[in-house]
């Protein structure tokens, strides 16, 4: 029950931050009628998830807290359904090439954000190990 509550709480916070704050910011630029805010939110979520999971991977961290942050918060902050919807809008309003480019850009940059979060997480862990020794 604690795990479900933690996921629900993390999800509520992530969803509120996404819809109540980040999506409402003025767009840096748009593609057709689509703001890049969704792209930036998804990339931030990839980075946060990767950094967090790397840092707590071998640490005794409570399962509800891990699930609340990783599954709840990051899951609600980044949404696959919004990515698909925005891509479909681009396919139909601007063209197939633009929609496809948006998907590929999101996917590739998401992987870069994942690797960056993992790299920085391992770098931090190494630094703290050396300082502790």
pLDDT tens for 88-111 read 888 998 899 988 988 999 999 999
3-state secondary structure of 35: strand
Cα three-residue angle 112-116-120, rounded to 5 degrees: 175
Q: What is the pLDDT of residues 111-133, one digit of tens each?
A: 999 999 999 999 999 998 888 87
Burial class (CB in 10 A: 0-12, 13-18, 19+), 69: buried
């Amino acid at each position: 029950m604690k795990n479900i509550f933690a996921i629900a709480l993390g999800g509520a916070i992530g969803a509120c931050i996404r819809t109540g704050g980040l999506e409402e910011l003025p767009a840096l630029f748009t593609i057709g009628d689509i703001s890049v805010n969704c792209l930036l939110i998804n990339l931030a979520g990839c980075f946060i998830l990767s950094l967090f999971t790397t840092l707590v991977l071998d640490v005794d961290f409570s399962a509800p807290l891990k699930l609340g942050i990783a599954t709840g918060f990051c899951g609600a902050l980044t949404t696959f359904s919004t990515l698909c919807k925005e891509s479909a809008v681009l396919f139909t309003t601007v063209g197939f090439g633009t929609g496809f480019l948006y998907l590929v850009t999101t996917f590739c940059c998401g992987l870069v954000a994942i690797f960056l979060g993992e790299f920085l997480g391992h770098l931090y862990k190494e630094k703290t190990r050396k300082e502790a020794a």
